[in-house]
Chain A
Amino acid sequence: MGKRAAIVGFGQTRGSSSRKDVNGVEMINEAVRAALADAELGIEDIDAVVIGNMDHFEGINYVDMWSVEGSGGVMKPVIKVTTGGTTGTTVAMCAYYHVACGLFDRVLAIGWEKNSESDTTGAIITAYDPIWERPNMAGAIGGLAVDASRYMHDHGVTERDGTRVTVRDRLNALNNPFAHLRQEWMRGKDVNTLVDILVSSPENQVLAYPLRMSDMCPRTDAAAALVFASEDVAGKIAPVPAWILAVANRHNTVYYGDLDWSLNETLEAASRQAFAKVGITEPLKEIDVCELYLPYSYAGLAWIESIGFCGPGEGRRLLWDGVTDMDGEIPMNPSGGVMSSNPIGATGVIRVGEAAIQIMGKAGPRQVNRTVNVAMATGFGGCYWADVLLLGREKPN
Protein backbone atom coordinates (compact mmCIF):
# COMPACT_ATOMS: atom_id res chain seq x y z
CA MET A 1 0.00 0.00 0.00
CA GLY A 2 1.20 3.42 -0.89
CA LYS A 3 3.26 4.30 -3.93
CA ARG A 4 5.99 6.83 -4.09
CA ALA A 5 5.25 9.88 -6.18
CA ALA A 6 7.29 12.54 -7.90
CA ILE A 7 6.78 15.78 -9.73
CA VAL A 8 7.79 15.39 -13.35
CA GLY A 9 6.58 18.63 -14.86
CA PHE A 10 5.75 22.22 -13.95
CA GLY A 11 4.26 25.06 -15.97
CA GLN A 12 2.96 28.52 -15.21
CA THR A 13 1.74 31.66 -16.91
CA ARG A 14 3.53 34.94 -16.44
CA GLY A 15 2.16 36.76 -13.40
CA SER A 16 0.33 39.91 -14.35
CA SER A 17 -1.75 42.49 -12.53
CA SER A 18 -4.40 41.86 -15.15
CA ARG A 19 -4.58 39.33 -17.99
CA LYS A 20 -7.04 41.15 -20.22
CA ASP A 21 -6.33 39.00 -23.25
CA VAL A 22 -7.77 35.75 -21.94
CA ASN A 23 -10.66 34.54 -19.87
CA GLY A 24 -10.05 32.25 -16.90
CA VAL A 25 -10.49 28.97 -18.79
CA GLU A 26 -8.01 30.07 -21.45
CA MET A 27 -5.48 31.10 -18.82
CA ILE A 28 -5.78 27.72 -17.11
CA ASN A 29 -5.22 26.05 -20.46
CA GLU A 30 -1.95 27.96 -20.92
CA ALA A 31 -0.54 26.63 -17.66
CA VAL A 32 -1.69 23.09 -18.43
CA ARG A 33 0.01 23.18 -21.81
CA ALA A 34 3.18 24.53 -20.23
CA ALA A 35 3.24 21.75 -17.64
CA LEU A 36 2.56 19.05 -20.23
CA ALA A 37 5.26 20.47 -22.49
CA ASP A 38 7.69 20.49 -19.58
CA ALA A 39 6.93 16.84 -18.90
CA GLU A 40 6.79 16.04 -22.62
CA LEU A 41 3.40 14.44 -22.19
CA GLY A 42 0.07 14.84 -23.97
CA ILE A 43 -3.23 15.44 -22.23
CA GLU A 44 -4.20 11.87 -23.12
CA ASP A 45 -1.46 10.69 -20.74
CA ILE A 46 -3.14 12.33 -17.77
CA ASP A 47 -5.27 10.05 -15.57
CA ALA A 48 -6.92 12.62 -13.32
CA VAL A 49 -7.18 16.35 -12.73
CA VAL A 50 -7.28 18.33 -9.48
CA ILE A 51 -7.96 22.05 -9.54
CA GLY A 52 -8.31 24.83 -7.00
CA ASN A 53 -8.85 28.56 -6.57
CA MET A 54 -10.67 30.82 -4.14
CA ASP A 55 -14.25 31.06 -5.39
CA HIS A 56 -15.16 34.60 -4.58
CA PHE A 57 -12.21 36.07 -6.46
CA GLU A 58 -13.81 35.15 -9.75
CA GLY A 59 -17.38 34.57 -8.68
CA ILE A 60 -17.68 31.20 -10.37
CA ASN A 61 -19.42 28.28 -8.66
CA TYR A 62 -18.12 24.73 -9.22
CA VAL A 63 -14.93 25.86 -10.92
CA ASP A 64 -13.82 22.27 -11.56
CA MET A 65 -16.89 21.86 -13.79
CA TRP A 66 -16.64 25.26 -15.46
CA SER A 67 -12.94 24.95 -16.27
CA VAL A 68 -12.93 21.42 -17.62
CA GLU A 69 -12.70 22.49 -21.24
CA GLY A 70 -9.44 24.29 -20.53
CA SER A 71 -8.02 22.02 -17.84
CA GLY A 72 -8.04 18.93 -20.04
CA GLY A 73 -10.42 17.15 -17.71
CA VAL A 74 -13.14 16.25 -20.23
CA MET A 75 -14.00 12.58 -19.68
CA LYS A 76 -11.46 12.29 -16.90
CA PRO A 77 -11.77 12.13 -13.10
CA VAL A 78 -11.87 15.73 -11.87
CA ILE A 79 -12.25 17.21 -8.40
CA LYS A 80 -11.76 20.58 -6.77
CA VAL A 81 -10.08 21.24 -3.47
CA THR A 82 -9.97 24.68 -1.92
CA THR A 83 -8.67 26.00 1.38
CA GLY A 84 -8.09 29.74 0.98
CA GLY A 85 -4.48 30.79 0.59
CA THR A 86 -3.28 27.24 1.17
CA THR A 87 -5.30 26.10 -1.84
CA GLY A 88 -2.25 25.68 -4.08
CA THR A 89 -0.36 23.44 -1.68
CA THR A 90 -3.59 21.61 -0.85
CA VAL A 91 -4.07 20.99 -4.58
CA ALA A 92 -0.51 19.67 -4.84
CA MET A 93 -1.08 17.38 -1.86
CA CYS A 94 -4.34 16.14 -3.35
CA ALA A 95 -2.60 15.20 -6.59
CA TYR A 96 0.09 13.50 -4.53
CA TYR A 97 -2.52 11.38 -2.71
CA HIS A 98 -4.16 10.47 -6.02
CA VAL A 99 -0.85 8.97 -7.08
CA ALA A 100 0.28 7.61 -3.72
CA CYS A 101 -2.90 5.55 -3.30
CA GLY A 102 -1.96 3.57 -6.37
CA LEU A 103 -5.06 4.30 -8.44
CA PHE A 104 -3.64 6.93 -10.80
CA ASP A 105 -0.26 7.13 -12.49
CA ARG A 106 -0.13 10.66 -13.85
CA VAL A 107 -2.13 13.44 -12.25
CA LEU A 108 -2.43 17.10 -13.16
CA ALA A 109 -2.61 19.63 -10.30
CA ILE A 110 -3.83 23.09 -11.30
CA GLY A 111 -4.04 26.28 -9.30
CA TRP A 112 -5.19 29.59 -10.70
CA GLU A 113 -6.55 32.99 -9.85
CA LYS A 114 -7.73 36.00 -11.83
CA ASN A 115 -7.70 38.47 -8.98
CA SER A 116 -8.15 41.37 -11.39
CA GLU A 117 -11.73 40.28 -11.99
CA SER A 118 -12.93 41.24 -8.52
CA ASP A 119 -12.37 43.39 -5.46
CA THR A 120 -9.83 41.21 -3.66
CA THR A 121 -10.35 42.68 -0.21
CA GLY A 122 -14.11 42.60 -0.64
CA ALA A 123 -13.89 38.93 -1.44
CA ILE A 124 -11.49 38.10 1.39
CA ILE A 125 -13.77 39.74 3.92
CA THR A 126 -16.37 37.07 3.16
CA ALA A 127 -14.02 34.48 4.64
CA TYR A 128 -14.83 35.66 8.12
CA ASP A 129 -17.75 34.50 10.17
CA PRO A 130 -20.68 36.75 9.26
CA ILE A 131 -22.03 36.95 12.77
CA TRP A 132 -18.94 37.22 14.95
CA GLU A 133 -16.10 38.62 12.89
CA ARG A 134 -17.09 39.98 9.48
CA PRO A 135 -18.43 43.34 10.64
CA ASN A 136 -15.02 44.22 12.05
CA MET A 137 -12.50 42.55 9.78
CA ALA A 138 -10.52 44.58 7.28
CA GLY A 139 -9.57 41.89 4.77
CA ALA A 140 -6.18 40.23 4.85
CA ILE A 141 -3.97 43.17 5.72
CA GLY A 142 -5.52 43.94 9.12
CA GLY A 143 -4.84 40.49 10.50
CA LEU A 144 -1.30 40.43 9.19
CA ALA A 145 -0.62 43.87 10.65
CA VAL A 146 -1.60 42.61 14.08
CA ASP A 147 0.77 39.68 13.61
CA ALA A 148 3.61 42.00 12.59
CA SER A 149 3.02 44.34 15.53
CA ARG A 150 3.15 41.51 17.98
CA TYR A 151 6.38 40.16 16.50
CA MET A 152 8.01 43.60 16.54
CA HIS A 153 6.99 44.00 20.16
CA ASP A 154 8.23 40.56 21.23
CA HIS A 155 11.58 40.74 19.49
CA GLY A 156 12.38 44.41 18.95
CA VAL A 157 12.61 44.14 15.17
CA THR A 158 12.34 47.27 13.11
CA GLU A 159 10.92 48.13 9.73
CA ARG A 160 14.43 47.83 8.31
CA ASP A 161 14.39 44.18 9.28
CA GLY A 162 11.03 43.56 7.59
CA THR A 163 12.19 45.43 4.52
CA ARG A 164 15.31 43.26 4.31
CA VAL A 165 12.98 40.33 3.54
CA THR A 166 11.21 42.28 0.81
CA VAL A 167 14.50 43.27 -0.76
CA ARG A 168 15.73 39.68 -0.84
CA ASP A 169 12.63 38.37 -2.55
CA ARG A 170 12.22 41.23 -5.01
CA LEU A 171 15.89 40.97 -6.04
CA ASN A 172 15.42 37.24 -6.61
CA ALA A 173 12.37 37.97 -8.75
CA LEU A 174 14.59 39.72 -11.25
CA ASN A 175 15.83 36.24 -12.22
CA ASN A 176 12.30 34.92 -12.73
CA PRO A 177 10.60 35.78 -16.01
CA PHE A 178 7.26 34.55 -14.59
CA ALA A 179 7.26 36.83 -11.54
CA HIS A 180 4.64 39.59 -11.49
CA LEU A 181 6.66 42.24 -9.69
CA ARG A 182 10.04 42.66 -11.29
CA GLN A 183 11.37 45.91 -10.02
CA GLU A 184 14.18 46.64 -12.43
CA TRP A 185 15.23 49.77 -10.52
CA MET A 186 16.56 47.45 -7.82
CA ARG A 187 19.00 45.67 -10.10
CA GLY A 188 22.64 46.12 -9.26
CA LYS A 189 22.09 47.95 -5.97
CA ASP A 190 23.26 46.46 -2.68
CA VAL A 191 20.74 45.35 -0.09
CA ASN A 192 21.50 48.05 2.48
CA THR A 193 20.95 50.79 -0.06
CA LEU A 194 17.71 49.20 -1.16
CA VAL A 195 16.44 48.90 2.41
CA ASP A 196 17.35 52.57 3.01
CA ILE A 197 15.52 53.67 -0.11
CA LEU A 198 12.34 51.77 0.79
CA VAL A 199 12.09 52.80 4.42
CA SER A 200 12.68 56.44 3.64
CA SER A 201 10.44 56.70 0.59
CA PRO A 202 7.36 58.88 1.13
CA GLU A 203 5.53 57.00 -1.64
CA ASN A 204 5.86 53.81 0.38
CA GLN A 205 2.54 54.35 2.12
CA VAL A 206 1.44 52.79 5.37
CA LEU A 207 -1.50 50.49 4.66
CA ALA A 208 -2.16 49.24 8.18
CA TYR A 209 0.54 50.00 10.74
CA PRO A 210 3.23 48.74 10.67
CA LEU A 211 2.69 47.37 7.16
CA ARG A 212 3.64 49.58 4.28
CA MET A 213 3.23 48.90 0.59
CA SER A 214 6.70 47.37 0.38
CA ASP A 215 5.81 44.89 3.11
CA MET A 216 2.89 43.40 1.22
CA CYS A 217 2.51 40.83 -1.52
CA PRO A 218 0.74 41.92 -4.72
CA ARG A 219 -2.41 40.37 -6.14
CA THR A 220 -1.83 38.65 -9.45
CA ASP A 221 -3.51 36.89 -12.36
CA ALA A 222 -1.83 33.60 -13.19
CA ALA A 223 -2.25 29.87 -13.43
CA ALA A 224 0.21 27.10 -12.62
CA ALA A 225 0.16 23.36 -13.06
CA LEU A 226 2.18 20.37 -11.86
CA VAL A 227 2.35 16.86 -13.20
CA PHE A 228 2.65 14.20 -10.50
CA ALA A 229 3.68 10.69 -11.49
CA SER A 230 3.92 7.39 -9.70
CA GLU A 231 7.18 5.57 -9.16
CA ASP A 232 6.20 3.17 -11.94
CA VAL A 233 6.49 5.86 -14.59
CA ALA A 234 8.25 8.90 -13.10
CA GLY A 235 11.73 7.85 -14.15
CA LYS A 236 10.61 7.40 -17.75
CA ILE A 237 9.14 10.88 -17.88
CA ALA A 238 11.74 13.05 -16.13
CA PRO A 239 15.50 12.50 -15.91
CA VAL A 240 15.50 13.92 -12.37
CA PRO A 241 12.03 13.65 -10.84
CA ALA A 242 11.37 15.62 -7.65
CA TRP A 243 10.19 12.95 -5.20
CA ILE A 244 7.63 13.78 -2.54
CA LEU A 245 9.30 12.97 0.78
CA ALA A 246 6.70 14.30 3.18
CA VAL A 247 3.44 16.17 3.20
CA ALA A 248 1.86 17.68 6.31
CA ASN A 249 -0.60 20.39 7.15
CA ARG A 250 -2.59 21.97 9.94
CA HIS A 251 -5.69 24.12 9.44
CA ASN A 252 -6.45 24.40 13.12
CA THR A 253 -8.15 27.69 13.74
CA VAL A 254 -11.56 29.13 12.88
CA TYR A 255 -11.71 32.50 14.62
CA TYR A 256 -8.94 35.09 14.55
CA GLY A 257 -9.56 35.78 18.18
CA ASP A 258 -8.45 32.25 19.02
CA LEU A 259 -4.96 32.63 17.61
CA ASP A 260 -1.82 32.61 19.71
CA TRP A 261 -0.06 35.53 18.05
CA SER A 262 3.29 34.75 19.60
CA LEU A 263 4.15 32.02 17.13
CA ASN A 264 2.96 30.35 13.95
CA GLU A 265 1.94 27.15 15.61
CA THR A 266 0.42 25.47 12.56
CA LEU A 267 3.62 26.02 10.58
CA GLU A 268 5.62 24.73 13.49
CA ALA A 269 3.49 21.60 13.88
CA ALA A 270 3.33 20.85 10.14
CA SER A 271 7.08 21.36 9.77
CA ARG A 272 7.79 19.14 12.76
CA GLN A 273 5.65 16.35 11.30
CA ALA A 274 7.27 16.62 7.87
CA PHE A 275 10.78 16.70 9.29
CA ALA A 276 10.09 13.69 11.49
CA LYS A 277 8.89 11.69 8.49
CA VAL A 278 12.14 12.35 6.65
CA GLY A 279 14.40 12.20 9.69
CA ILE A 280 15.47 15.85 9.48
CA THR A 281 16.75 17.17 12.82
CA GLU A 282 18.73 20.21 11.64
CA PRO A 283 16.66 21.91 8.96
CA LEU A 284 19.20 24.68 8.43
CA LYS A 285 21.83 22.12 7.43
CA GLU A 286 19.67 19.44 5.86
CA ILE A 287 17.40 21.50 3.64
CA ASP A 288 18.98 23.00 0.56
CA VAL A 289 16.37 25.50 -0.57
CA CYS A 290 13.03 26.77 0.69
CA GLU A 291 10.08 28.29 -1.14
CA LEU A 292 8.42 29.87 1.84
CA TYR A 293 4.90 31.29 1.43
CA LEU A 294 5.19 34.82 2.80
CA PRO A 295 2.11 37.00 2.44
CA TYR A 296 4.05 39.87 3.99
CA SER A 297 7.63 40.74 4.90
CA TYR A 298 7.86 40.28 8.68
CA ALA A 299 6.66 36.71 8.27
CA GLY A 300 10.01 36.09 6.61
CA LEU A 301 11.66 36.79 9.97
CA ALA A 302 9.12 35.14 12.29
CA TRP A 303 8.17 32.05 10.37
CA ILE A 304 11.69 30.79 9.77
CA GLU A 305 11.84 30.61 13.56
CA SER A 306 8.56 28.66 13.68
CA ILE A 307 9.93 26.19 11.15
CA GLY A 308 13.09 25.75 13.20
CA PHE A 309 15.74 27.21 10.92
CA CYS A 310 16.75 29.30 13.97
CA GLY A 311 15.57 30.11 17.47
CA PRO A 312 13.01 32.71 18.56
CA GLY A 313 14.11 36.25 17.73
CA GLU A 314 17.01 35.03 15.57
CA GLY A 315 15.26 35.44 12.25
CA ARG A 316 16.59 38.92 11.81
CA ARG A 317 20.17 37.72 12.14
CA LEU A 318 19.72 35.06 9.47
CA LEU A 319 18.41 37.68 7.06
CA TRP A 320 21.15 40.26 7.62
CA ASP A 321 23.91 37.62 7.63
CA GLY A 322 22.80 36.62 4.16
CA VAL A 323 21.98 33.07 5.26
CA THR A 324 18.73 33.14 3.25
CA ASP A 325 20.16 34.81 0.15
CA MET A 326 20.85 32.90 -3.06
CA ASP A 327 24.42 32.10 -2.00
CA GLY A 328 23.57 31.56 1.67
CA GLU A 329 23.21 28.35 3.59
CA ILE A 330 19.44 28.14 3.07
CA PRO A 331 18.37 30.17 0.03
CA MET A 332 14.78 31.26 0.34
CA ASN A 333 12.40 32.14 -2.43
CA PRO A 334 14.71 32.02 -5.41
CA SER A 335 11.54 32.59 -7.46
CA GLY A 336 10.90 35.91 -5.77
CA GLY A 337 8.21 34.27 -3.64
CA VAL A 338 4.72 35.44 -2.84
CA MET A 339 6.10 38.94 -2.29
CA SER A 340 6.67 39.10 -6.03
CA SER A 341 3.70 37.13 -7.36
CA ASN A 342 0.46 36.18 -5.66
CA PRO A 343 -2.20 34.55 -7.82
CA ILE A 344 -3.80 33.08 -4.75
CA GLY A 345 -5.11 29.72 -5.96
CA ALA A 346 -1.88 29.20 -7.89
CA THR A 347 0.54 30.60 -5.34
CA GLY A 348 0.93 27.36 -3.43
CA VAL A 349 1.30 25.37 -6.65
CA ILE A 350 4.08 27.75 -7.64
CA ARG A 351 5.89 27.25 -4.33
CA VAL A 352 5.85 23.49 -4.92
CA GLY A 353 6.80 23.84 -8.59
CA GLU A 354 9.64 26.24 -7.86
CA ALA A 355 10.98 23.88 -5.20
CA ALA A 356 10.66 20.98 -7.66
CA ILE A 357 12.58 22.65 -10.46
CA GLN A 358 15.42 23.39 -8.06
CA ILE A 359 15.77 19.64 -7.52
CA MET A 360 15.28 18.90 -11.21
CA GLY A 361 17.95 21.45 -12.12
CA LYS A 362 15.54 23.31 -14.37
CA ALA A 363 15.43 26.68 -12.65
CA GLY A 364 17.65 28.47 -15.12
CA PRO A 365 18.85 31.87 -13.90
CA ARG A 366 17.15 31.33 -10.55
CA GLN A 367 18.74 27.91 -9.96
CA VAL A 368 20.64 27.83 -6.66
CA ASN A 369 24.28 27.02 -7.09
CA ARG A 370 24.58 23.63 -5.41
CA THR A 371 23.11 20.14 -5.69
CA VAL A 372 19.66 20.33 -4.25
CA ASN A 373 18.89 17.15 -2.36
CA VAL A 374 16.00 18.38 -0.25
CA ALA A 375 13.68 21.28 -1.05
CA MET A 376 10.89 22.66 1.10
CA ALA A 377 7.68 24.38 0.01
CA THR A 378 5.09 25.89 2.32
CA GLY A 379 1.57 27.25 2.00
CA PHE A 380 -0.25 29.78 4.14
CA GLY A 381 -3.79 31.01 4.27
CA GLY A 382 -7.13 30.92 6.02
CA CYS A 383 -6.89 31.51 9.72
CA TYR A 384 -3.13 31.07 9.98
CA TRP A 385 -3.16 27.66 8.38
CA ALA A 386 0.01 25.97 7.18
CA ASP A 387 0.87 23.37 4.56
CA VAL A 388 4.37 21.88 4.25
CA LEU A 389 5.86 19.72 1.51
CA LEU A 390 9.37 18.28 1.38
CA LEU A 391 10.73 17.19 -1.98
CA GLY A 392 13.86 15.19 -2.62
CA ARG A 393 16.25 14.12 -5.31
CA GLU A 394 16.44 10.56 -3.97
CA LYS A 395 13.44 8.26 -4.11
CA PRO A 396 12.29 7.81 -0.51
CA ASN A 397 12.27 4.40 1.22
Chain B
Amino acid sequence: MKDARLTCEGRIKVPYKWYVGETGSRFFTALRDRCEIWGTRCPSCNKVYVPPVKNCWQCFRHLEEWVPVDGSGVVESFTVARQPDPMFNLEPPVIYGLIRLGEASGSLLHYIGEARPEEVKVGMRVKAVFADRRSGNILDIKYFAPHRD
Protein backbone atom coordinates (compact mmCIF):
# COMPACT_ATOMS: atom_id res chain seq x y z
CA MET B 1 0.00 0.00 0.00
CA LYS B 2 1.44 3.34 -1.02
CA ASP B 3 2.12 5.84 1.76
CA ALA B 4 -0.73 8.24 2.26
CA ARG B 5 0.91 11.53 3.17
CA LEU B 6 -1.89 13.44 4.79
CA THR B 7 -1.26 16.58 6.77
CA CYS B 8 -3.29 18.52 9.29
CA GLU B 9 -3.00 22.30 9.25
CA GLY B 10 -3.26 24.48 12.30
CA ARG B 11 -2.04 27.59 13.94
CA ILE B 12 -1.30 28.40 17.51
CA LYS B 13 -3.27 31.50 18.36
CA VAL B 14 -2.42 32.54 21.86
CA PRO B 15 -2.59 36.30 22.31
CA TYR B 16 0.14 37.87 24.45
CA LYS B 17 0.41 41.05 26.41
CA TRP B 18 3.87 41.51 27.85
CA TYR B 19 4.28 43.83 30.82
CA VAL B 20 7.20 46.06 30.05
CA GLY B 21 7.88 46.85 33.70
CA GLU B 22 8.50 50.23 35.27
CA THR B 23 12.03 50.56 33.90
CA GLY B 24 11.02 49.81 30.34
CA SER B 25 7.93 51.97 30.67
CA ARG B 26 10.05 54.96 31.56
CA PHE B 27 12.26 54.32 28.51
CA PHE B 28 9.32 54.03 26.13
CA THR B 29 7.48 57.01 27.59
CA ALA B 30 10.53 59.18 26.93
CA LEU B 31 10.67 57.86 23.36
CA ARG B 32 7.01 58.43 22.79
CA ASP B 33 6.51 61.78 24.44
CA ARG B 34 9.83 63.52 23.94
CA CYS B 35 11.82 61.56 21.30
CA GLU B 36 14.46 61.06 23.94
CA ILE B 37 16.61 58.00 24.48
CA TRP B 38 17.57 57.17 28.05
CA GLY B 39 19.71 54.45 29.57
CA THR B 40 20.59 53.26 33.06
CA ARG B 41 24.10 53.34 34.48
CA CYS B 42 25.72 50.88 36.86
CA PRO B 43 27.79 52.66 39.51
CA SER B 44 29.99 49.58 39.98
CA CYS B 45 31.11 48.84 36.43
CA ASN B 46 30.02 52.14 34.82
CA LYS B 47 28.20 50.38 32.01
CA VAL B 48 25.37 52.35 30.43
CA TYR B 49 22.56 50.14 29.20
CA VAL B 50 20.36 51.06 26.27
CA PRO B 51 17.65 49.82 26.42
CA PRO B 52 17.83 50.38 30.16
CA VAL B 53 17.93 47.47 32.56
CA LYS B 54 16.71 47.36 36.14
CA ASN B 55 19.65 45.18 37.20
CA CYS B 56 23.22 45.12 35.94
CA TRP B 57 23.83 41.45 35.22
CA GLN B 58 27.56 41.78 35.49
CA CYS B 59 27.53 43.26 38.98
CA PHE B 60 24.17 41.82 39.96
CA ARG B 61 22.87 45.03 41.44
CA HIS B 62 19.88 47.33 41.07
CA LEU B 63 20.41 50.40 38.95
CA GLU B 64 18.93 53.73 39.95
CA GLU B 65 20.77 56.22 37.77
CA TRP B 66 19.20 57.30 34.48
CA VAL B 67 21.35 58.98 31.84
CA PRO B 68 20.23 60.63 28.61
CA VAL B 69 21.87 59.10 25.58
CA ASP B 70 22.66 60.80 22.29
CA GLY B 71 20.35 59.81 19.46
CA SER B 72 23.31 59.46 17.15
CA GLY B 73 25.89 56.78 17.11
CA VAL B 74 28.03 54.37 15.18
CA VAL B 75 27.14 51.22 13.28
CA GLU B 76 28.97 48.31 14.93
CA SER B 77 27.50 45.68 12.68
CA PHE B 78 24.81 45.39 10.05
CA THR B 79 23.17 42.94 7.70
CA VAL B 80 20.94 43.24 4.66
CA ALA B 81 18.04 40.83 5.02
CA ARG B 82 16.85 39.81 1.57
CA GLN B 83 13.87 37.63 2.40
CA PRO B 84 12.10 38.55 5.63
CA ASP B 85 9.16 36.36 6.62
CA PRO B 86 5.90 37.79 5.18
CA MET B 87 4.48 37.85 8.70
CA PHE B 88 6.59 40.90 9.53
CA ASN B 89 5.28 43.06 6.69
CA LEU B 90 8.75 44.27 5.80
CA GLU B 91 9.72 45.35 2.31
CA PRO B 92 13.07 43.74 1.40
CA PRO B 93 15.88 44.55 1.51
CA VAL B 94 15.71 45.25 5.25
CA ILE B 95 18.87 46.54 6.85
CA TYR B 96 19.42 45.61 10.49
CA GLY B 97 22.10 47.30 12.50
CA LEU B 98 23.72 47.14 15.90
CA ILE B 99 24.15 50.81 16.71
CA ARG B 100 26.22 52.14 19.58
CA LEU B 101 24.66 55.38 20.71
CA GLY B 102 26.46 58.15 22.54
CA GLU B 103 27.73 56.94 25.89
CA ALA B 104 26.01 53.54 25.76
CA SER B 105 28.30 50.62 26.53
CA GLY B 106 26.73 48.31 24.01
CA SER B 107 24.69 48.63 20.88
CA LEU B 108 21.01 48.78 20.15
CA LEU B 109 19.42 46.46 17.60
CA HIS B 110 17.34 48.38 15.10
CA TYR B 111 16.80 49.18 11.43
CA ILE B 112 19.03 51.33 9.25
CA GLY B 113 17.02 53.41 6.84
CA GLU B 114 17.47 56.05 4.16
CA ALA B 115 20.52 54.16 2.99
CA ARG B 116 21.29 51.90 0.09
CA PRO B 117 22.61 48.49 1.16
CA GLU B 118 25.91 49.11 -0.64
CA GLU B 119 26.66 52.27 1.30
CA VAL B 120 26.24 50.84 4.79
CA LYS B 121 29.58 50.27 6.49
CA VAL B 122 30.74 49.36 9.95
CA GLY B 123 31.83 52.60 11.58
CA MET B 124 29.25 54.69 9.74
CA ARG B 125 27.62 57.44 11.77
CA VAL B 126 23.84 57.26 12.02
CA LYS B 127 21.11 59.20 13.79
CA ALA B 128 17.73 58.16 15.15
CA VAL B 129 14.71 59.07 13.05
CA PHE B 130 11.51 58.94 15.06
CA ALA B 131 8.14 57.81 13.82
CA ASP B 132 5.51 60.50 13.37
CA ARG B 133 2.97 58.50 15.34
CA ARG B 134 4.50 56.97 18.44
CA SER B 135 2.86 54.60 20.91
CA GLY B 136 5.52 53.72 23.45
CA ASN B 137 7.38 50.82 21.89
CA ILE B 138 10.67 50.16 20.10
CA LEU B 139 9.18 51.14 16.74
CA ASP B 140 8.75 54.72 17.98
CA ILE B 141 12.21 54.90 16.53
CA LYS B 142 11.54 54.42 12.84
CA TYR B 143 15.15 53.63 11.95
CA PHE B 144 18.65 55.05 12.15
CA ALA B 145 19.70 57.07 9.13
CA PRO B 146 23.20 58.00 7.96
CA HIS B 147 24.51 61.39 9.04
CA ARG B 148 24.68 63.32 5.84
CA ASP B 149 26.69 66.44 6.54
Residues of chain B within 8 A (CB-CB) of A42 are 60
In the complex, what's the smallest C-beta–C-beta distance from B15 to chain A, in angstroms? 6
Chain B interface bracket (under 10, 10 to 19, 20 to 34, 35 or more):
20 to 34
Kindly identify which residue among A20, A58, A118, A131 contacts B8, using a CB–CB cutoff of 8 Å. Answer: A131
CA separation between A26 and B23, bound complex, in Å? 10
Query: A69-B53, A131-B8 in contact; A56/B14 too (CB < 8 A)?
Result: yes
* CA gap between A59 and B12 in the complex, in Å: 11
Q: Check if B10 is an interface residue, CB within 8 A of chain A.
A: yes
Nearest CB to that of B59 among chain A residues?
Answer: A43
Query: Any chain A CB within 8 A of the CB of B116?
Result: no
Cα of A116 to Cα of B16 in the assembled complex, Å: 9
Binary interface encoding of chain A residues 118-148 relative to chain B, with 1 for a CB under 8 A from any of its CBs, else 0 = 1100110010001100100000000000000
Taken together as a complex, chains A and B put the C-alpha atoms of A43 and B16 apart, in Å, by: 32
Q: Is there contact, CB below 8 Å, between B24 and A23? A: yes
Q: In B1-41, which residues have CB < 8 Å from any A CB?
A: 8, 10, 12-24
| A203 interfacial contact with B, CB 8 Å | no
Determine whether the beta carbon of A26 is less than 8 Å from that of B55.
yes
- CB of A126 within 8 A of CB of B14, answer yes
A59 contacts B14, C-beta separation under 8 Å = yes
- Judging by beta carbons under 8 Å apart, are A19 and B14 in contact? no
> Measured between alpha carbons, how far is A372 from B24 in the docked complex, in Å?
44
B22→A118 contact, CB < 8 A: no
Residues of A within 8 A of B21 (CB): 21-23, 26
Contacts between the two chains (Cβ within 8 Å), count: 64
**Does any Cβ of B come within 8 Å of A70's Cβ?**
yes
For B23, the chain A residues whose CB sits under 8 A away are 26
Give chain A nearest CB distance to B55 CB in angstroms. 5
Task: Please state if B14 and A72 are interface contacts (CB–CB under 8 Å).
Answer: no
B 81-107 to A, binary, CB cutoff 8 A, 1 in contact else 0: 000000000000000000000000000
- The verdict on A117 contacting chain B, using a C-beta distance below 8 Å, is yes
Residue of A18, A56, A70, A114 touching B12 (CB-CB under 8 A): A56
Find B15's partner among A21, A116, A118, A131 (CB 8 Å cutoff).
Answer: A118
Once A69-B53, A69-B57, A70-B57 are accepted as A-B contacts, the answer to whether A19 and B19 lie under 8 Å apart by CB is yes
Contacts A117-B18, A131-B8; is A122 near B60 (CB within 8 Å)?
no
Q: What residues on A are CB-neighbors of B58 within 8 Å?
A: 74
B42-70 CB contacts (< 8 Å) to partner A: 53-55, 57-58, 60
Interface bin, chain A: 20 to 34
Which residues on B sit within 8 Å (CB–CB) of A118?
14-17
Residues A27-43 near B (CB distance < 8 A): 29, 42-43
Whole-angstrom distance between the alpha carbons of A126 and B23 in the complex? 32
Chain A neighbourhood of B53, CB < 8 A? 69
| A68 interface contact, C-beta 8 A | yes
Are A29 and B19 neighbours in the complex by a CB distance under 8 Å?
A: no
Report yes or no: A122 in contact with B8, Cβ–Cβ below 8 A.
no
Tell me the bound Cα distance from A274 to B21 in angstroms: 42
| Contact assessment for B55 and A117 in the assembled complex, using a CB-CB cutoff below 8 Å | no
Q: Is the beta-carbon distance between B16 and A59 smaller than 8 angstroms?
A: yes
List of B residues within 8 angstroms of A116 by Cβ: 17, 19
Contacts of B22 in A (CB 8 A): 21-22
Contact code string A216-250 (vs B, CB < 8 Å = 1, else 0): 00000000000000000000000000000000000
Contacts of A123 in B (CB 8 A): 14
- Residues from chain B with a CB closer than 8 A to the CB of A18 are 19
Q: How far is the CB of A38 from chain B (nearest CB, A)?
A: 16
Contact of A20 among B10, B19, B57, B60 (CB under 8 A): B19
- A24 vs B18: C-alpha distance when bound (angstroms): 8
Which B-chain residue is minimally distant from A72 (CB atoms)?
A: B60
Chain B residues with Cβ below 8 Å from A43 are: 60
- A117 in complex: contacting residue of B8, B19, B57, CB < 8 Å: B19
What would 22 A/B residue contacts be, using CB atoms closer than 8 Å?
Answer: A18-B19, A19-B19, A21-B19, A22-B19, A22-B21, A23-B19, A24-B18, A29-B55, A43-B60, A59-B14, A68-B57, A72-B60, A74-B57, A117-B19, A118-B14, A118-B17, A119-B14, A122-B14, A126-B12, A130-B8, A130-B10, A131-B8
